[in-house]
Amino acid sequence: MEIFIVILVLVVLFVIPSIKIVPQAKSYVIERLGSYLTTWSNGLHFKIPFIDRVSNKVTLKEIVKDFAPQPVITKDNVTMQIDTVVYFQITDPKLYTYGIEDPINAIENLTATTLRNIIGELELDQTLTSRDIINAKMRSILDEATDPWGIKVNRVEVKNILPPRDIQEAMEKQMRAERERREKILQAEGEKKSSILIAEGEKESAILKAEAQKEAQIKMAEGEAEALLKIKKAEADGIKLLREAKADNSVLTLKSYEALEKVANGQSTKIIVPANLQSVATFGTVINEMIEKKNK
């Protein structure tokens, strides 16, 4: 019974602690007698008590580090504060454990020196407008430098760029002046377009009015011509009917006088009547022949 208890105590003290369960997205670096032995991935593992030990527990998730702002000097000697965010991932737990003493601190210092080198080649305006270029260069340099440490740098983002206060004020004034200039240009262009549209509208209106007057005059002239033709036709038809009805010379003479007055078209104010009343019929016949010739 006592032996069983001793065995049970030994199991509790030595065997159970030697059973290790590695969770997902984790890796354990195992040493045996002070030397690297293996790397455990997720799952159930057993180590030899007093001989094997877990040297380092490494996460395989992507790590985000927001480093403090760093003072940098541009090519045109402007000092500004820039802070960066680095996204990296451990790809080799062994190199990460034995490649460098403090990987996070090493990445921070490497980021600061790389940032100073890149910004030192750019002027202030280029620095403010070239974030994508800065990010790409830093990612490439950091990824290559951290490869021996078992680290892969996925992204580097410039979070904030803070120029000196006087530079910020000058930039704000410049931007304000630029906005005012653009506003005046847009206002002038709007007024110009408005004037052009008004002029075009007046022009089109005048053209339409002229065309309307022209059409009205044409229609009026056509109406008058058509009315005159109808009057003449009616007169001719009336005389023709009188002839067909065999009206006597007196009626024809009277109608001839009426026709003569219309032929004069209001220009004559007198009508000469022959003195010899017996020649009235003859005169009426002559007038009648004149009217027939005119109608023809």
Q: What is the pLDDT of residues 39-86, one digit of tens each?
A: 999 999 988 888 889 999 999 999 999 988 888 988 888 888 998 999
Residue 146: the pLDDT is 93
DSSP one-letter code for 11: I
Winning range, highest mean pLDDT, from 242-246, 250-254, 283-287: 242-246
- What residue ranges do the domains of the chain occupy? 2-58, 62-163, 247-296
Percent of the chain past pLDDT 90, that is, above it, reads: 29
Query: Taking Cα atoms as reference points, which of 27, 92, 53, 70 lies closest to residue 100?
Result: 92
Residue 5: the pLDDT is 73
User: Is a pLDDT exceeding 80 seen at residue 210?
Assistant: yes
| pTM of this prediction exceeds 0.75 | no
Q: Which CATH architecture has domain 62-163?
A: 2-Layer Sandwich (3.30)
Top-confidence residue, 150 or 237: 150
User: Is a pLDDT exceeding 50 seen at residue 115?
Assistant: yes
Three-state DSSP at 80 gives strand
Surface-to-core class of residue 171, CB atoms within 10 Å of its CB (0-12 exposed, 13-18 middle, 19+ buried): middle
